[in-house]
A and B are shown apart, each in its own frame.
Chain A
Amino acid sequence: MVDYEEIKKLVLIRLEAMPPDIKVSIGSEKDLSREELFREVKNETELGKLIIKMQLEYLRSMKKGF
């Protein structure tokens, strides 16, 4: 069983390491820089929670070789 807090920590580490020139366009309202994505996850906003959940799915899929 993967711990939610561990996944959150992993997402935050990955986001910190992301190049600063990357922006992620997501949803109708959001257009996020690295720092904004970091805040969404850190504060566990609706989007932040979805990113954490999707990170778990991503790791599961990675095990299967995508």
Chain B
Amino acid sequence: MKKFLITRPTHEIRVTYLFHWGKEILEFAKKKSINFTDFKNGKANRKDVEKYLKKQNPRLVLFNGHGNTSMICGHDDEPLIISNENEDLLNSKITYAIVCDAAKKLGKNAVKKGCDAFIGYEGPFGFVRDASRECNPFKDKFAEPFKEISNIIVTSLLKGDSVEESVEKSKHLTSELIKKYSTSDAEPGFKDIRFWLFWDKFFLNFIGDPTAKF
């Protein structure tokens, strides 16, 4: 049975948003009876993640957190995957990293070392928040579209779509949302998030096999 691993650190507000976005993905995986492992909070650490990747060999890995061109971090910004150190752990896997800049170098290196496909951002990942809703990310209307354009990548993969199809679905949805928020009856504030939706669409990319499937 194919396995799916998700890491969900919670050490600060921005990654806590991603933690909450991940809940919907896990509910979806449960409904589809997909075998998943959720490394949340402090469990999103290097030792546990490395051990799981080596021993359980999940087909799909979703990293939520901070990082840069050469690393993906977990809880308390502990580096989990480092370029030229342990990216070979992503061998034969599909990886999606909601991590700034990681597709730029780390993603490319991971694919060179056997990762089937690496989906990520070639620039800083960004999202808009309603400053008055920080205590309840689920009710944050400005963050909601960003959750949608990111989560659709994972739900598409879990449904059996290819990497290319999943990324295209996200880009298409982003364009549709931008158009929706461009109409004269769009709620105030939503016009301002169009630029940031475009930002994520622009930087979203994948490296590796476009036909790779979960």
Contact = CB atoms under 8 A, between A and B. Distances in A.
A19 B141 CA distance: 14
Contacts, number: 71
Interface in A31-66: 31, 33, 47, 50, 54-55, 57-58, 61, 65-66
Interface in B84-134: 100, 123-132
A16 B17 CA distance: 26
A19 B129 contact: no
B138 interface: no
B198 A61 contact: yes
Contacts of A28: 66-68, 77, 100
B189 interface: yes
11 contacts: A14-B195, A21-B132, A22-B142, A22-B192, A24-B126, A25-B13, A25-B14, A28-B68, A50-B123, A57-B198, A58-B198
B64 to A, nearest CB: 13
Interface in A2-31: 14, 17-19, 21-28, 30-31
Interface of B: 13-14, 17, 66-68, 77, 100, 123-132, 142, 174-175, 178-179, 188-189, 192-193, 195-196, 198-199, 202
A58 B20 CA distance: 29
B202 A27 contact: no
Nearest to A25: B14
Query: Which 3 pairs from chain A and chain B are nearest by CB?
Result: A26-B126, A27-B124, A28-B66
Given A61-B198, A66-B179, A19 B188 contact: yes
Contacts of B142: 22
Contacts of B199: 54
A66 B175 contact: yes
B174 to A, nearest CB: 8
A54 B197 CA distance: 11
Contacts of B128: 22-25
Contacts of A25: 13-14, 17, 126-129
Contacts of A18: 192
Nearest to B68: A28
Nearest to A27: B124
A10 B176 CA distance: 24
A66 B189 CA distance: 19
Nearest to B195: A58
Contacts of A17: 192
B132 A54 contact: no
A21 B14 contact: no
B100 A27 contact: yes
